[in-house]
């Protein structure tokens, strides 16, 4: 994401990652991935609710599909993974499904992706293509 940041800026898009934790955790996430100042803390999950994102079922977690297993492996290779200490913190809920959106400064949603499983996020290049198309 940080490598494509200049192209997002050219399209008039400011990238922000919403972290389901407090300000300290958002900053730790941002520094880990080189996204200083781009992470917004949301410990009350207001953004998650506003986007209409769902929850994964325990049964799906216990018997993940091939797609889910593939995304877990990709995430692990990219340096991401499940942190058990973090998973046990009060604000964490690993059953929350992810999402991505392009939102105008006034709050109007231009494009949204609602994940079907925990690893279901669009590739950053896909989001950039949508942002560039909308900027025209």
- In this prediction, residue 25 carries a pLDDT of 81
pLDDT (tens digit per residue) in 2-20:
788 888 888 888 888 888 7
Domain count, the chain: 1
More confident residue, 30 or 90: 30
Segment (H or E) for 84? helix 84-87
The pTM (predicted TM-score) of the whole model is 0.73
Domain that holds residue 47: 2-135
Determine the Cα angle at 38 with ends 37 and 41, to 5°.
90
Alpha-carbon distance of 68 to 120, in angstroms, equals 8
The pLDDT value recorded for residue 123 is 86
Please, are residues 43 and 91 in contact by the beta-carbon 8 Å criterion? yes
Express each pLDDT in 36-55 by its tens digit: 778 888 888 899 899 999 98
Q: Residue 123: which of 104, 103, 92, 100 has the closest Cα?
A: 100
């Amino acid at each position: 994401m940080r490598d494509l940041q200049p192209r997002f800026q050219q399209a008039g898009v400011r990238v922000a990652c919403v972290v389901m934790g407090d300000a300290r955790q958002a900053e730790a996430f941002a520094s880990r991935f080189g996204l200083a100042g781009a992470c917004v803390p949301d410990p009350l999950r207001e953004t998650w609710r506003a986007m209409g994102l769902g929850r994964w079922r325990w049964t799906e977690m216990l018997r993940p599909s091939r797609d889910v297993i593939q995304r877990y492996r990709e995430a692990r290779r990219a340096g991401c993974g499940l942190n058990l200490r973090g998973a046990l913190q009060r604000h964490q809920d690993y059953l929350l499904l992810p999402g991505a959106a392009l939102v105008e400064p006034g709050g109007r949603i231009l494009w949204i992706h609602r994940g079907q499983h925990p690893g279901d996020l669009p590739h950053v290049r896909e989001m950039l293509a949508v942002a560039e198309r909308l900027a025209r």
